[in-house]
Amino acid sequence: MADPKESTPAPKTPEAPAASAPADGEVKVAKVRKKKIKHAVPKARVCIRAGENNTIVTFTDLNGNKLGGSSSGSCGFKGTRKSTPYAAKVTAEKASELVQGYGIESVTVEVKGLGPGREQAIRGLQSAGLNLDAIVDTTPIPHGGCRPTGRRRV
């Protein structure tokens, strides 16, 4: 003889679609995007790398954390036009637009490299309305260097 508890049918409840209701024991977690907090940075550092083929402008805070930047290639210049003084000026202006939300008032400029966009990138920063505290040249210069090859003996 069967147990009466087993033969009694369970009451039917309306079931929700499987996609919206998590299974027993599972917890549905919604993905939350954190909003980037833009803190006020009154003084910043601008690193300009003026190479032979490109000019890269980067804004950092005084600790070295990147705030934003731009390059001649990202401004739409391609090929030999990337290495022009005009491209360097446009790059500096665009980089300063990207970091306007930080409230930067004055900057210290560090220039590295001997490319054609050195001077124009600095002028682009001035035309963007930034106060330049100092301009420092950090171009690496070899002191001594590697030992030269020996003279050929026949």
Amino acid at 29: V
Query: What does the pLDDT read at residue 55?
Result: 96
Query: What does the pLDDT read at residue 97?
Result: 95
In this structure, CATH architecture of domain 43-137 = 2-Layer Sandwich (3.30)
Query: What does the pLDDT read at residue 15?
Result: 59
Query: What does the pLDDT read at residue 79?
Result: 95
Confidence of residue 16 (pLDDT cuts 50, 70, 90): low
Mean pLDDT of the chain: 87
Query: What does the pLDDT read at residue 3?
Result: 60
Which residues, 6+ apart, have CB-to-CB distance to 71 below 8 Å?
Answer: 54, 55, 56, 57, 91
Q: Considering the entire predicted model, what is its pTM?
A: 0.71
pLDDT by residue (tens digit) across 19-63?
Answer: 555 666 677 777 887 766 678 899 999 999 999 999 999 999 999
Query: What does the pLDDT read at residue 39?
Result: 82
Q: Cα–Cα distance between 103 and 38 in angstroms, integer?
A: 9
Query: What does the pLDDT read at residue 95?
Result: 96
Q: What angle do CA 149, 151, 154 make, to 5 degrees?
A: 135
> Would you list the domain boundaries of the chain?
43-137
Confidence of residue 107 (pLDDT cuts 50, 70, 90): very high
